[in-house]
Amino acid sequence: MGGHEMRFIEEAFDTNWIAPLGPNVENFEKEVADYVGIDGAVALSSGTAAIHMALKLIGIEPGDLIFCSSLTFAATCNPIVYEGGKPVFIDSEPQNMNMSPKALEKAFKYYQGKGQLPKAVLVVHLYGQVADMDAIEEICNKYQVPIIEDAAEALGATYKGRYAGTMGDYGIFSFNGNKIITTSGGGMLVSRNKEALKKALFWSTQSRDKARHYEHSELGFNYRMSNVLAGIGRGQLLVLKERLEKKKKIFETYQWALAGIEDIEMAKICDYGESNYWLSTMFLKQDSTINVIDIIEALEKENIEARPIWKPMHNQPFFEEYRFFSHNEVGISVSEEAFERGICLPSDTKMTIEEQMRVISIIRNLFAYGM
């Protein structure tokens, strides 16, 4: 917590605005939209709900294809299946581990040959680093296909001066407990299309028609954020700048302290924008004698948690039936290799420098580079 949350929570209690409507919800939407410089926002119960609403807004129907980043969390692609759509998984590019424009172009050409284009491209900004949006936008514009940005991990990150989540037709943010700011659980849909956002608001409040009685002419969803949780979000938003600075400092400390170990390379930060450094990720070189599990277990012995990076969706049991397009012509894909070699290090903004140096010391000792 940043210290400002209770003011907004108490306001919700004092004014008896507890339900999924109220001043905190409306103000949180406006404050997030103003921060990223977009026309409007709808606060929802999760980032997953926001993706679901975005897919409905682009008109997804059963059997429709959605081109989707493979290197991501399942929440990105689950809503495609909710609506009977078919995800088509797109590999990462080596530069930033985000969606590969090369693999995306392959997918478009393949399905154009079959006379079927996707309903949308769902691009993920992984670990706070924005994908190469110019290249992705050029391809999508050529085929006249809308873009949904999964910026769940990338609030505050930029690409050539534009904020993550504001470049596609729809953008989504997550405020889950592990994100750079949190509402404990929650998300937000943003867009320049205000009429579409009104429709998402309607759907997310059980599609209640305007009538004296309860009237429903469309399927609705219970997706609206509560006024109490929105109050937490408003308090958190006040410390976002500090969080961004602290996340960057954590990454740079790892980068500096592990620079001498030849087997280790930190995630590349692209020069076309500013990452929000949500999680500090590092990769082991192919011929390293130490593997990801060795590091995780060494830290675990000291009661410190680290995790592998996301396992690609096309390798997940539930999604393995769906088509995948690789960045590489032969051999293992970029996303599969990243999963084998990548690890997310402790990156919490309340972590002290002494705690971070403990993590670093354990890793350095594992590679016989004692401090």
Q: Which domain holds residue 167?
A: 5-237
Q: What are the pLDDT digits (tens) for 315-348?
A: 999 999 999 999 999 889 999 999 999 999 999 9
CATH number of the domain to which 360 belongs: 3.90.1150.10
User: Which DSSP helix (H) or strand (E) runs through 365?
Assistant: helix 353-366
The domain boundary residue, chosen from 218, 237, 256: 237
Token pair 């940005």: residue: 149
Same domain, 252 and 159: no
Mean per-residue pLDDT, 89-101 = 96
How many residues does this entry show for the chain?
Answer: 371
Query: Is 154 in contact with 128 (CB distance < 8 Å)?
Result: yes
Residue 34 pLDDT class (50, 70, 90 cuts) = very high
- The span from the CA of 182 to the CA of 371, in Å, is 35
Residue 247 pLDDT class (50, 70, 90 cuts) = very high
Same domain, 301 and 178: no
CATH number of the domain to which 48 belongs: 3.40.640.10
- The span from the CA of 70 to the CA of 52, in Å, is 17
Same domain, 192 and 244: no
The domain boundary residue, chosen from 215, 237, 259: 237
Helix-then-strand count for the chain, H and E: 12, 14
Q: Is residue 63 part of a domain?
A: yes
How many domains, the chain? 2
- Smallest Cα–Cα separation from 29: which of 195, 173, 157? 173
Q: Is residue 80 part of a domain?
A: yes
Same domain, 137 and 228: yes
Q: Is residue 371 part of a domain?
A: no
Same domain, 170 and 245: no
Q: Is residue 61 part of a domain?
A: yes
Q: Is residue 56 part of a domain?
A: yes
Q: Which residues, at least 6 apart from 93, have a Cβ–Cβ distance to it below 8 Å?
A: 99, 100, 101, 102, 103, 132, 327, 334
User: Which DSSP helix (H) or strand (E) runs through 30?
Assistant: helix 23-36
User: Which DSSP helix (H) or strand (E) runs through 362?
Assistant: helix 353-366
User: Which stretches of 260-359 are assigned E, i.e. beta strand?
Assistant: 264-266, 281-284, 307-308, 324-325, 342-344
- The span from the CA of 233 to the CA of 235, in Å, is 5
Residue 196 burial class via C-beta count within 10 angstroms: exposed 0-12, middle 13-18, buried 19 and up:
buried
Q: What are the pLDDT digits (tens) for 100-123?
A: 999 999 999 999 999 999 999 999
Q: Structure pTM? A: 0.95
Same domain, 218 and 274: no
Same domain, 249 and 357: yes
Would you state the structure tokens that stand for residue 73, as one six-digit string? 């969390």
The backbone torsions φ and ψ at residue 265, rounded to the nearest 5 degrees and listed phi first, read -135, 130
Same domain, 97 and 154: yes
Adjacent-strand bridge partners of 42: 189
The domain boundary residue, chosen from 237, 258, 273: 237
Same domain, 357 and 219: no
